[in-house]
């Protein structure tokens, strides 16, 4: 960061400092889902157009942006602000899931879609969530691991292709 700041003109440094200050002052986690927000409750949680009994669980606010870009989802989100990471000494008990568990336990949520990253830490996090939430009356889904569109089978890595085969779905 120091190298970057040394390279840019002083005027831009002032602008950067102002923006950092703004982020710190005005952006806070949504009190319901932990998404970035300028209000107590973010625009997604507050929207009357969203399905209120479906929650997609993601690791970071940027994952919410990615899913919103698909235009395929109109439920709510819950952002963990991290994942289980044995390398960094973060286990399930350190995860920020209390507000999520409380909502599921209250019976207001019918469906949970676990959308943590398809890597080691994301899988551990998904397993932990399944264990914590399956005691309640809620349907739990894991985001499907698919083969990328517009590609050819021969170029897909074998881990992804193997998972796609395991998760095959009936078409007739
Ligand atoms: Zn929210």
**Could you please report the per-residue DSSP string of the chain?**
-HHHHHHS-HHHHHHHHHHHHHHHHH-EE-TTT--EESSSS-HHHH-TTS-TTEEEEESSHHHHHHHHHHT---SEEEE-SS--BGGGTB-GGGS--HHHHHHHHTT---EEEE---SSHHHHHHHHHHHHHHTTSS-EEEE----PPTT--GGGS-HHHHHHHHHT-----
Alpha-carbon span 90 to 31, nearest angstrom: 23
Question: For residue 60, which of 20, 96, 89 has the smallest C-alpha distance?
Answer: 96
Q: Give the Å distance between the CA of 79 and the centre of ligand 1.
A: 9
Q: Give the Å distance between the CA of 171 and the centre of ligand 1.
A: 36
Where residue 80 sits, what CATH number does that domain have?
3.40.1360.10
Q: Give the Å distance between the CA of 172 and the centre of ligand 1.
A: 39
Q: Give the Å distance between the CA of 144 and the centre of ligand 1.
A: 24
Determine the distance from the C-alpha atom of residue 89 to the mean position of all C-alpha atoms in its chain, rounded to a whole number: 20
Model pLDDT for residues 7-22, shown as the tens digit of each residue: 888 888 889 889 888 8
Q: Would you say residue 44 lies in a domain?
A: no
Alpha-carbon span 106 to 132, nearest angstrom: 14
Q: Give the Å distance between the CA of 43 and the centre of ligand 1.
A: 7
Q: Would you say residue 17 lies in a domain?
A: no
For residue 144, what pLDDT is reported?
86
Q: Would you say residue 20 lies in a domain?
A: no
**What are residue 142's DSSP bridge partners?**
114
Q: Give the Å distance between the CA of 76 and the centre of ligand 1.
A: 8
On whether the CB atoms of residues 12 and 19 are closer than 8 A, the answer is no
Q: Give the Å distance between the CA of 48 and the centre of ligand 1.
A: 13
Mean pLDDT estimate for the chain: 92
Q: Would you say residue 8 lies in a domain?
A: no
> Domain limits at 85?
51-166
Model pLDDT for residues 19-56, shown as the tens digit of each residue: 888 888 888 999 999 999 999 999 999 999 999 999 99
Model pLDDT for residues 50-105, shown as the tens digit of each residue: 999 999 999 999 999 999 999 999 999 999 999 999 999 999 889 989 999 999 99
Q: Would you say residue 33 lies in a domain?
A: no
Q: Give the Å distance between the CA of 138 and the centre of ligand 1.
A: 20
Q: Would you say residue 41 lies in a domain?
A: no
Q: Would you say residue 77 lies in a domain?
A: yes
Q: Give the Å distance between the CA of 19 and the centre of ligand 1.
A: 23
Residues 6+ apart with CB under 8 A from 170: none
How many domains does the chain fold into? 1
Q: Give the Å distance between the CA of 111 and the centre of ligand 1.
A: 17
Q: Would you say residue 143 lies in a domain?
A: yes
pTM: 0.85
Alpha-carbon span 19 to 63, nearest angstrom: 22
């Amino acid at each position: 960061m120091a190298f970057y700041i040394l390279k840019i003109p002083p005027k831009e440094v002032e602008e950067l400092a102002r923006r950092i200050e703004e982020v710190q002052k005005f952006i806070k986690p949504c009190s319901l889902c932990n998404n970035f927000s300028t209000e107590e409750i973010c625009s997604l949680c507050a929207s009357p157009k969203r399905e209120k009994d479906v929650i997609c669980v993601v690791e970071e606010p940027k994952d919410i942006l990615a899913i919103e870009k698909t235009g395929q989802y109109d439920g709510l989100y819950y952002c963990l602000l991290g994942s289980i990471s044995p390398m960094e000494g973060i286990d399930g008990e350190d995860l920020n899931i209390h507000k999520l568990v409380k909502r599921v336990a209250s019976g207001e949520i019918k469906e949970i879609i676990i959308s943590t990253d398809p890597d080691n830490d994301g899988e551990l996090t998904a397993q932990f969530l399944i264990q914590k939430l399956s005691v309640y009356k809620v349907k739990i889904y894991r985001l499907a691991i698919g083969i990328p569109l517009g590609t050819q089978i021969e170029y897909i890595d074998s881990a992804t292709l193997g998972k796609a085969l395991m998760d095959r779905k009936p078409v007739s």
